[in-house]
Amino acid sequence: MAVAETPAPETGVVRGVAEHIGKRPPTYPPYPRAKPSMRSGDRLAALTPDILLDGITVGRLTALGVSVRGDSHRWHGHCRQDSMAIARIGPPEAEMLVLAVADGVSSAGRSHVASQDLVHQAVSNLDAEAESFHRGLRERDEPQLNGLANKVIGQAVGELRPKWRAQAGDRYEDRDHASTLHVLLVPVQETVRERLLLSVGDGGLRVCRGGTWKRGDHESEPTPLLDPRTAALPGSYDTVETRLLSSSPADVLMLATDGVTGPLRQESEFADRLAGHWGRGEIPAPSDFLWQAQLRAKSYDDDRTVVCLWERRPGDAD
């Protein structure tokens, strides 16, 4: 699996303009508009970037991730409520990649704080238990992995609540910090084929296999596009869903918030276009990945966060 070279743009095509499916583009313009002011009283909202792009290559594994402020948030001048992280955890003999995405619930006033804090705290706590998780993956010990996952997420919530209370004072409520969270643990060692998914809320894992997206989590079907009852942290810290799965080097694993999984589930053209970009055996350049991830569709204007993982096979060019 080689890194793709960026083709020369066709005459008249501006690469920076996001593609769209359907006959007409969404009503919102495809570029950033207003952001919260530093004088708004919410420093984090004012400093949260419109777009976050990251990536890493370790051994044969390559991950690329992007978190983009949704069209409606751009139009109304709200900050991005999604967050993500791509990190290496554990000692050399038990090293893993951790991919994490979080979607702050739109109706929660401090969900942008919660999504960023939960991603960072979860990664930190996973690192502290990395050897145990790695051992559980090697041994395919699902009960142990499930117990560890609930412990780590419960600890993260327990550590963050005092911080959030100190920030909010007497006004603190859990529901103001509501956020989903999905984490994928992937051992760096090629001999360990098991991966672990930790999930709370909508969004989740998809696997591109043979040009088709397949479900990689426990999400039920169908799920309403705008379901206000979705599970979310901090309240659902004791109901973390875990799934042990195996993947082959031919699979592309995609962890995403519902800004991506929603249209992927509902719009076949959207799913086919992303499968064509990411499931054809080539790893895009980061700038191309960003452009591809901004594929637009009418009625889907939420923040979108997506992290893809590719594995080069023996004999693939670097």
15 pLDDT band, cuts 50/70/90, is low
Q: Which residues pair with 309 in a beta bridge?
A: 63, 253
18 pLDDT band, cuts 50/70/90, is confident
Instruction: Kindly state the average pLDDT of the residues 64-85.
Output: 96
Least confident of 5-14, 27-36, 134-143, 234-243: 5-14
Q: Is the pLDDT assigned to residue 11 strictly greater than 80?
A: no
1 pLDDT band, cuts 50/70/90, is low
Percent of the residues in the chain that have a pLDDT greater than 90, as a whole number:
77
Between residues 197 and 106, which one has the greater pLDDT?
A: 197
Q: Is the pLDDT assigned to residue 172 strictly greater than 80?
A: yes
Question: What is the structure's pLDDT at 227?
Answer: 39
Phi-psi region of 90 (alpha: psi -120 to 50; beta: other; left: phi over 0): left
Residue range 259-301, pLDDT digits in tens: 999 999 999 999 999 999 999 889 999 999 999 999 999 999 9
Residue range 191-250, pLDDT digits in tens: 999 999 999 999 999 999 999 999 876 554 433 333 344 689 998 767 799 999 999 999
Q: Which residues pair with 96 in a beta bridge?
A: 89, 187
Q: pTM for this one? A: 0.90
170 pLDDT band, cuts 50/70/90, is confident
Kindly provide the residue ranges of all beta strands, DSSP E only, lying in 216-280, ordered along the sequence: 241-246, 252-256
| 3-state SS class at 76 | helix
Percent of the residues in the chain that have a pLDDT greater than 70, as a whole number:
89
Angle in degrees, CA 9, 12, 17, rounded to 5:
70
Q: Does residue 234 have a cis peptide bond before it, meaning omega lies within 30 degrees of 0? A: yes
Question: What is the structure's pLDDT at 17?
Answer: 80
Q: Is the pLDDT assigned to residue 313 strictly greater than 80?
A: no
Calpha distance 212→85 (Å, rounded): 26
Question: What is the structure's pLDDT at 218?
Answer: 55
Q: Is the pLDDT assigned to residue 161 strictly greater than 90?
A: yes
Question: What is the structure's pLDDT at 300?
Answer: 94
Question: What is the structure's pLDDT at 295?
Answer: 95
Question: What is the structure's pLDDT at 87?
Answer: 98
Kindly provide the residue ranges of all beta strands, DSSP E only, lying in the chain, ordered along the sequence: 2-3, 51-58, 61-68, 82-89, 96-103, 181-187, 194-200, 204-209, 212-215, 241-246, 252-256, 282-283, 304-311
Q: Does residue 222 have a cis peptide bond before it, meaning omega lies within 30 degrees of 0? A: yes
Question: What is the structure's pLDDT at 224?
Answer: 33
Calpha distance 268→265 (Å, rounded): 7
Instruction: Kindly state the average pLDDT of the residues 112-120.
Output: 97
Question: What is the structure's pLDDT at 255?
Answer: 98
Identity of residue 300: Y
